[in-house]
Amino acid sequence: MSKLPVFVITETEPTPLLRDFATFTRYLSTHRIVLTRANEFLSGRDLYELNQEMTHPLLDTTPRTSQSLYPLLHLFYHLVLAGELFRKVSGKGSRLVLEPTERLQAYGELKLTERYFFLLETLWTDTDWKKLQEACFGGPSLYSVHDVLGYLSEQQPEVTIHLRGEEVSDMSRMLWNWGYFILYFSFFGFWEATRDEVLMTQYWPKRSFQAETITPSTLGVTMAEVLREARNVFYWNLPHRREFGEWGAIPGSPLPGGDPVTLFELEPGRKRSKAAIVVDKGKPGDPFFLPFIPLFAEGELQKTLPREGIEFVAGTYVFRVALAKNLWRRIEISADHTLLDLHRSIQKAYNFDDDHLYSFFMDGKPWSREQFVSPYDEEGPYVDEVSIGELGLRVGQNILYMFDYGTEWRFRVELEEIRREGPEPRTPKIIEKMGEAPEQYEYYDE
């Protein structure tokens, strides 16, 4: 890479992203943050107070305004969780609260440029983009990101791109359904966006964003080229890869099913209007920030927080598996056992026939992407591919075990204890029962 501009990242440039994020994490660290029951989001009161402390607070909000209407705060919420700066833990009355992790201090010790790239890496690699879409009407397909970056990389910085009206550009077609993601990219300084007030007033719901123009920055044009060439989101976004059955994928590694980008690229034959930047793509598993180093002064971008993966936690795991308040079974299982073993023990505990497909939803939400499925399902990850001890479970975590997709038997599986001392059970054990198991099938005389 040669003859490139040298950029400078500060707390307020290219945007106040780092300053606002510091304000956000400081607030979470100094307040008791109780999450809402419905979505496990920040409360309206906390959001209202946080909004007032942002550089550009949203207008017309109240303590009852939900997180989905705060694009910046919604993004920050997912970044602190995906980046493991905060974790959800059980509080009083079965409510979940946020608590900081040791990584938050390590993040604070990074240089400003390194903090920026840690947040960008977290967005690009660890954040579930479908969860970010929950806050807005629409959202991009990852297939479209490759083309948007390609188009952006060919634009002249500070030249406005019209998405509506007589001067509409090709970018309008690419961004038509991006919603808040247009704002997310603007928060990182890729472009400035203006809101289409007429369209928003007449046609679109409040939980959406439609842009009239975007104006790319020099940083955005340059970053788009590097991201497109060396950090294709289709290979780097781990939640997306897990949706298609991969467990423990290496960011940037080839996809098992081939290269979907070449199959779905909107304009594979488009000729470039200017010479491409020569980018060192590196190899799978390289630090995310590596190809961006030449864009900054020497020594400004040297490290990030480690990607250590999930540590295996040995011990005896005690689960409470409930169908109702007074109908549950307590099961003891070793860290070396798998979710397949847990499935079988639940079947035994409730006298069910193991004759249907099933899933464990690790976030407790039905049909979420955080799932492990039956070995007979079409796509993994599968229950026999991972042991209990490498799931990264926390005491108090609630898992949804759904058996029989037609009837949808829903079992709440709560991890009550991890005993580190003493021998681990050689086979799963049902150690306590409450209530009579229901009939799996009911037959009626006609």
The 10s digit of each residue's pLDDT in 153-164 is 999 999 999 988
For 8, 145, 219, 228, the CA distances from 158, given in Å and listed in that order, are 17, 21, 10, 20
- pLDDT value of residue 266: 42
Q: How many CB atoms lie within 10 A of CB 292?
A: 23
pLDDT less than 50: residues of the chain? 1-2, 262-269, 443-446
Q: For the full predicted model, state whether its pTM sits above 0.85.
A: yes
Residues 78-125 have pLDDT tens digits of 999 999 999 998 877 778 899 999 999 999 999 999 999 999 999 999
- pLDDT value of residue 265: 47
Residue 92 near residue 135 (C-beta atoms within 8 A) = no
- pLDDT value of residue 444: 38
Count of alpha carbons within 13 Å of 271, Cβ hemisphere only? 1
- pLDDT value of residue 192: 97
- pLDDT value of residue 273: 55
Strand partners, 328: 322, 434
Strand partners, 162: 168, 213
- pLDDT value of residue 142: 84
- pLDDT value of residue 206: 65
- pLDDT value of residue 446: 36
- pLDDT value of residue 20: 98
Backbone angle region of 270, left / alpha / beta, with phi > 0 → left and psi within -120 to 50 → alpha: beta
The domains found in the chain, sorted by start residue, are: 17-295 (no CATH), 316-434 (3.10.290.30)
- pLDDT value of residue 103: 95
- pLDDT value of residue 82: 95
Question: Strand 409-419 relative to strand 371-373: parallel, antiparallel, unpaired?
Answer: unpaired
